[in-house]
Every structure is written in C-alpha cells, then in structure tokens.
Amino acid sequence: MIPRAQHNVSRKHISRGALRVLYGLHEHGFRACLVGGAVRDLLLGGHPKDFDVATNATPEEVKHIFRNCRLIGRRFRLAHVLFGPEVVEVATFRGAGVEGEGDRHLVEGRIVRDNVWGSIEEDALRRDFRVNALYYDIADYSIIDFVGGMSDLEQRKLHLIGDPEQRYREDPVRMLRAARLAAKLQFTIDPSASEPFARLGHLLGDASPARLFDETMKLFMTGHGLASFRKLEDSGLLKHLFAGTARALARDEHGALRSLIEAGLAGTDARVVQGKPVTPAFLFAVLLWGEVYSLARGMQSEGVERALAWQRAAHQVMAEQTARVAIPRRFSYAMEEIWAQQPRFAERSKKRVFRLLAHPRFRAAYDFLLLRAAESEEMRERGEWWTRVQTLSPEELSVELSKPVSANAAGSATGGEAAAALPKRRRRRGGRGRGKSKAAGPSSEEMS
Ligand code: ATP
Ligand code: MG
C-alpha cells in the first residue's frame, strides 16, 4: 500500500463523474477504487479519458445507489453510471471461482463468461497486466499494488499476471492489448509476455469480430496508430488482424506501400492530437490498399474491365477482412468509395473534373491520392495537379481545362489517355468508367 503522501494521484485529475461514483459507493458502505488504465495513466502524469471503478457492490447494488445507472453485458456484467456524456464503468470484484461453479465458464480454455464475485486481491489477479492492476482507494486515497505494478511502471514494462500461455488462451485479445499499450505508453513488452505471440497469435481467429473492431479503433484511432502498426508488425500479430495488409507488405519491394501506410497513420495521429475528426473508412482504405490494388491489377491483366475489377477486388478484400474485424457497413462503403475515386483522378475532361470536385467523398479521396505520391513520379504530379486546381476559381479552372491536354501540369500520359478515352465514355451515359480501350491493354494508368 502506497499512502497518499507517497504518490502523485490527485483528485483534481479525476473526473467529476468518477468521484461521485467512488464517494457514492463509499458512503453506502462499499469498497470503491479507481482501477486500471486511469490509475496507470494518472501515475504516469497523463490525463485519462475514461475512468473505471472496481467495487465489492454487485451490479444490482450499484444500480440501487445511482438512478442514472444501466446494467450491461451478460458475459461480463457491469454497471454504467451516466453523467451527461460521461460514462463511468463500475465492475464488481471478480473472484477466481472454481470451474463449473457459479457463473464462470471456459470453452477450450477461453473465458466465455466471468461473473463470479470475489475479493479485491482476487480481482487484481484476474486483470491482464501488472500495471493495469493498481487500485486507488477512495477511503484513504492510497494506491494498492498486489502484483508489482508500481515497479513495472517505473521500468516502463508490461508483464502479464499469471501464466502467459494460459492468460492468452483465456482471452487472445490480451495479445493485442499488449501491443497497443506498449505503443501508447512507449513501454516494452516483457519477453515472457511476447514470446507466446508466434505460437498463439492464430487464436485471434476465435475472438469476436465485433470486439476486434473495437480494439482496432483503439489501436489506430487514438493518436498512436503509427506506433501501434509498427508494434503489431514487429510482434508478428499484424497478419492475424489484417492478413491482406501483411501479405501486401511482404510483396512491397520498394517500400511504396509502407510509406503510404506510415504517412496515412501519421496523418491520422496528427489529426487526433489536434482534435480534428477522423474516419475509420480512411484508415481501412489505407491499410487494405496494397491488397486491393494488386488484386484489381491481376484481374485487369486477365482482361476484366477496370471498374468491374475494382469492384470485385474491393469485395474480395472486404469479405476476408470483415470475417476477422467487423467493420460496420457505413465505413466499408465509404472506404470503397475512396478507392473507386482513385482512377478518376486521372481524368482531365471539364465535366469529369468538376464532377469529382463536387463528389461528397472528394476530400477523403484526395487526401488518399496525396498519400500515393511515393508510388511514382506520375502519382506525385497528379497529386500536385489536384492540389493546384482547388486553388482556382471555377472560371479559371474552366479555362485551364480548355487548354490542349499537353499544356496541363499533370503531363502527357495521364491527360492524354483520359482525353483519348473520352469520346467513347461520353457515348455510354451511366456506364461510368466502363469505356476503356482494350487495344491499349491494361496500362498502369488504367489500373491506378
Ligand atoms: P485504455 O483505457 O488506455 O484503453 P485500459 O487498460 O484502461 O487502457 P480498458 O479496456 O479500459 O483498458 O480496461 C480497463 C481495465 O480492465 C484494464 O486496465 C485491466 O485492468 C482490465 N482489463 C481490460 N481488458 C482486460 C482483459 N482482456 N483481460 C483482463 N483484464 C482486462
Ligand atoms: Mg480504460
């Protein structure tokens, strides 16, 4: 036990909602502690966004105390206490329990239900990492450390509590949590906790896709996405979460895909830090680009026409990905649109340029185009051209687009081909992108 005078966790940095829950439980005679990421981050001097409370009150007793309370979960029953937009998660201390007794069940070593109540000591042992098992006790403002979390915190290390193999079998998502927390906190994963990844990583295939989507959001959309990506790659876990990405990176001889992914993730991280909105659609478009690109390319070289090849490739990539990570339809739809706009950036006809500029997904598609600068000189120039046209008034742009194609900044191949294909396309109204010259064969242009 570390008394208040010997640690830096102050009530000033704890949310109002969390304090009300802690004091409310305490006043009703229950044990109430802040636990998990919030205590860890406060000790590290950070500002946690969410606060978790652990108590010896049952969910029903919690509900009895707070009017603004919802009981959630069946496999892991919890109380959520709501204060406006703030949600304080209140978990009853879990006990070790004897298999088959009470509401705790394992299937092939995997925990499928965990609702056996226990003591605070037992609760500590059921948590994942030592640094996540520190308790801040509202009764005397002390920190309670049952498992050596304080010393790990000082050494910036992640140790699993208990036998690593058993703990990963109980819940394979803990492997991703290790990678994520290491990236977020810039901690190292103790070899005892990273050693089983190669053997047990495939168990992520048994995890719930909905849960893996939530975990993916925390990995990539909370300001340390690039660090998470590198950690996942180094630890060999990436292929179990984004198989297509891992395959495409293995083929990426010149590093163009890697630099696209790294630039995309760094951009997202910067936006998160600045408080700007970010969309998972863009993230998935970035991560899966390499795979969809080569699939579409392969289909085109077998004679499938461009739009159809892209559609099929996108479909195939998404089918594989959503089987592992449940990407909600609204995001996968937006992602496919970002991809579908890419070939259209090659077009230089007035009508098509204006149409693309007005497209609801233009911004995201254009940001994506800029990430592709490393692919080729042509791509870099294309990005610059679209950057420049956005600075022009509609009148100026009209004039620009009326110039002979060779005068366009985007240069010969790009403009030339788009212009050559144009008369055909015009005749087929509604057949967007279908008119392409078979004779020319699938040039890199058509596939880009
Ligand atoms: P962050 O909030 O930064 O994502 P966190 O550690 O608080 O990190 P949460 O998902 O909020 O993560 O979980 C809160 C706490 O619950 C953890 O600190 C840990 O003690 C416990 N916990 C969460 N997930 C698991 C798990 N899969 N197995 C065991 N304990 C877990
Ligand atoms: Mg948390």
* Each residue's pLDDT tens digit, 244-285: 999 999 999 989 999 999 999 999 999 999 999 999 999 999
- pTM, two decimals, is 0.88
- Give yes or no for residue 408 having a pLDDT over 60: no
**DSSP state, 296?**
H
b/e 53-80 (16+ beta carbons within 10 angstroms → b): bbbbbbbeebbebbeebeeeeeeebbbb
Nearest CA to ligand 1 atom 14: 36
Q: Could you give the domains of the chain?
A: 1-155 (3.30.460.10), 242-421 (1.10.3090.10)
Count of Cβ atoms closer than 10 Å to residue 1 Cβ: 11
Q: Is 50 one of the catalytic residues?
A: yes
Question: In 3D, which of 312, 316, 315, 293 has the Cα closest to residue 304?
Answer: 312
> Is the Cα dihedral 200, 323, 244, 336 positive or negative?
negative
Tell me the C-alpha distance between 197 and 236, whole Å: 7
The residue to mutate among 44, 53, 104, 127, having the most atoms of ligand 1 within 8 angstroms of its beta carbon, is 127
165-177 average pLDDT score: 97
Please enumerate in sequence order all residues whose Cβ is within 8 A of that of 14, keeping only pairs 6 or more positions apart, or say none. Answer: 22, 34, 38, 42, 51
Token reading at 340: 């579908």
pLDDT of residue 183: 98
pLDDT of residue 375: 84
**Segment 42-59, tens digit of pLDDT:** 999 999 989 999 999 999
Contact 346, 445 (CB under 8 A): yes
Q: Is 52 one of the catalytic residues?
A: yes
- Give yes or no for residue 213 having a pLDDT over 60: yes
pLDDT of residue 293: 94
The residue to mutate among 94, 177, 203, 218, having the most atoms of ligand 1 within 8 angstroms of its beta carbon, is 177
pLDDT of residue 107: 84
Distance from Cα 169 to the centre of ligand 1, integer Å = 17
- Give yes or no for residue 141 having a pLDDT over 90: yes
pLDDT of residue 195: 97
Contact 132, 149 (CB under 8 A): yes
136-140 average pLDDT score: 98
- Give yes or no for residue 413 having a pLDDT over 80: no
Which residues are close to ligand 2, an ion, with C-beta < 5 A?
A: 37, 50
Token reading at 35: 């636990």
Task: Provide the pLDDT confidence category of residue 98 given band limits of 50, 70 and 90.
Answer: low
Amino acid letter, residue 48 = P
**Segment 296-343, tens digit of pLDDT:** 999 999 999 988 999 999 999 999 999 999 999 999 999 999 999 998
Question: H or E element: which one contains 269?
Answer: helix 256-273
* Pocket of ligand 1, beta carbon within 6 A: 36-37, 50, 52, 127-128, 132-133, 171, 173-174, 218
Token reading at 317: 């990539």
- Give yes or no for residue 159 having a pLDDT over 50: yes
Taking the CA of residue 171 as reference, the ligand 1 atom at the shortest distance is 27
Q: Please name every residue paired with 78 in a beta bridge, in sequence order, or none if there are none.
A: 72
- Give yes or no for residue 426 having a pLDDT over 50: no
Average pLDDT score, the chain: 89
Of the ligands numbered here, which is closest to the C-alpha atom of 40?
1
Distance from Cα 30 to the centre of ligand 1, integer Å = 22
What is the DSSP track for 71-124?
A: EE-SSS-EEEEEETTEEEEEEEPB----TTSSSEEEETTEEEEE--B--HHHHH
Distance from Cα 202 to the centre of ligand 2, integer Å = 26
Please report, for the chain, how many H helices and E strands are present, in that order.
Answer: 23, 11
Torsion angle of alpha carbons 415, 421, 426, 429, nearest 10°? -110
Contact 309, 299 (CB under 8 A): yes
Tell me the C-alpha distance between 139 and 299, whole Å: 66
- Give yes or no for residue 447 having a pLDDT over 80: no
The residue to mutate among 53, 132, 160, having the most atoms of ligand 1 within 8 angstroms of its beta carbon, is 132
Nearest CA to ligand 1 atom 27: 174
Q: Is 206 one of the catalytic residues?
A: no
Q: For the ranges 166-170, 364-368, 420-424, which has the lowest average pLDDT? A: 420-424
- Give yes or no for residue 428 having a pLDDT over 70: no
pLDDT of residue 389: 93
Distance from Cα 52 to the centre of ligand 2, integer Å = 6
Please enumerate in sequence order all residues whose Cβ is within 8 A of that of 445, keeping only pairs 6 or more positions apart, or say none. Answer: 346, 378, 413, 414, 417
Distance from Cα 24 to the centre of ligand 1, integer Å = 23
Taking the CA of residue 133 as reference, the ligand 1 atom at the shortest distance is 20
Taking the CA of residue 174 as reference, the ligand 1 atom at the shortest distance is 27
Distance from Cα 349 to the centre of ligand 2, integer Å = 51
- Give yes or no for residue 194 having a pLDDT over 70: yes
Q: Which of 128, 145, 152, 190 is catalytic?
A: 128
Which range in 141-150, 396-405, 435-444 is most confidently predicted, on average pLDDT? 141-150
pLDDT of residue 207: 95
- CA of residue 300 relative to chain centroid, distance: 31
190-216 average pLDDT score: 97
Token reading at 438: 């078979």
Tell me the C-alpha distance between 353 and 33, whole Å: 59
176-194 average pLDDT score: 98
**DSSP state, 2?**
B
Task: Provide the pLDDT confidence category of residue 427 given band limits of 50, 70 and 90.
Answer: very low
What is the DSSP track for 193-258?
A: HHTTHHHHGGGGGGS-HHHHHHHHHHHHSSS-HHHHHHHHHHTT-HHHH-HHHHHHHHH-TTSHHH
**DSSP state, 336?**
H
351-376 average pLDDT score: 93
Task: Give me the percent of the chain exceeding a pLDDT of 70.
Answer: 89
What is the DSSP track for 155-174?
A: HTEE-BSS-HHHHHHH-THH
pLDDT of residue 72: 95
Question: In 3D, which of 357, 348, 337, 356 has the Cα closest to residue 381?
Answer: 348
- Give yes or no for residue 430 having a pLDDT over 50: no
Distance from Cα 339 to the centre of ligand 2, integer Å = 34
Nearest CA to ligand 1 atom 9: 37
pLDDT of residue 181: 98
Count of Cβ atoms closer than 10 Å to residue 323 Cβ: 11
* Burial tier of 271 (Cβ tally within 10 Å: 0-12, 13-18, 19+): middle
Q: For the ranges 5-9, 79-83, 113-117, 365-369, which has the lowest average pLDDT? A: 113-117
